[in-house]
Amino acid sequence: MKVKMYIGWMLCLALSGCQLLQPNREVVPVNDALAIKVGEFDPAAYYLRLNELSEDQIFNELELLNLDPELGNNGIKLGLLYAYKKSPVKNPHRAHAAFNRAVITNNPYAKHGMIVALNDQILDGLRWQHKYEDLGSNQEQQQILLQQQIAALKMQLEELTRIEQQLNERN
């Protein structure tokens, strides 16, 4: 009898243990602020479309966007236009400023995270560019200083050779 009761308890524990575990939950992918719906602005698609435009078309697009940069997604488009590597109007400073304005507006739009990440990358690129320019100007300053020192040493050498010639003439 004890064995049957022991087996019964074990069976009850085993069956009730299944209920203690939580059922599998549906996995929800992490995505951006909003899903892109048909007809909505997609920054990635716009950036890829810039590759298909000629220089004249890019200038026309720039003129249109500059008419009202605060309208809708024009700020983001301007930032992407200035950030585009093959753009004749490429300007990382303006791209960074346009993205900053777009991020600050707090308007929810699709791919908000992508714009923030792109803005951070542009800022990092600008920092490296400034470091490179600073190194270049430091190198130029050092070269100028070395050239001045070389010129001073040449003058001293000429002075010493003149003095040596005068001493040789006296002897």
Q: Mean pLDDT over residues 3-16, rounded?
A: 71
Please determine, for residue 11, whether its predicted confidence score (pLDDT) is greater than 90: no
pLDDT at 160: 93
Q: Residue 29 above 70 pLDDT?
A: no
Residue 80 dihedral angles phi and psi, to the nearest 5°: -65, -35
How confident is the model over 93-129, as pLDDT tens digits? 888 888 888 878 756 665 677 788 788 888 888 888 8
- pLDDT of 21: 54
pLDDT band with cut points at 50, 70 and 90 for residue 9:
confident
CA-to-CA distance for 132 and 124, rounded, in angstroms?
A: 12
For residue 156, the model assigns a pLDDT of 95
What does pTM read for this prediction?
Answer: 0.55
Closest CA to 102 of 57, 62, 72, 59: 72
Percent of the chain with pLDDT over 70: 79
Residue whose pair of structure tokens reads 């590759």 in the numeric block: 51
Instruction: Report the share of the chain in percent with pLDDT over 90.
Output: 15
* pLDDT single digits (tens) 35-56: 455 557 778 888 888 888 888 8
**What is the rounded CA–CA span in Å between residue 88 and residue 62?**
11
Q: Which residue has the higher pLDDT, 70 or 153?
A: 153
Model confidence at 31: pLDDT above 90: no
**Three-class SS of residue 51?**
coil
Give pLDDT, residue 109: 61
Identify whether the C-beta of residue 99 lies closer than 8 Å to the C-beta of residue 78: no
Q: How is 54-99 classified by DSSP, letter by letter?
A: -HHHHHHHHHHHHH-TTSTTHHHHHHHHHH-TT-TT--HHHHHHHH
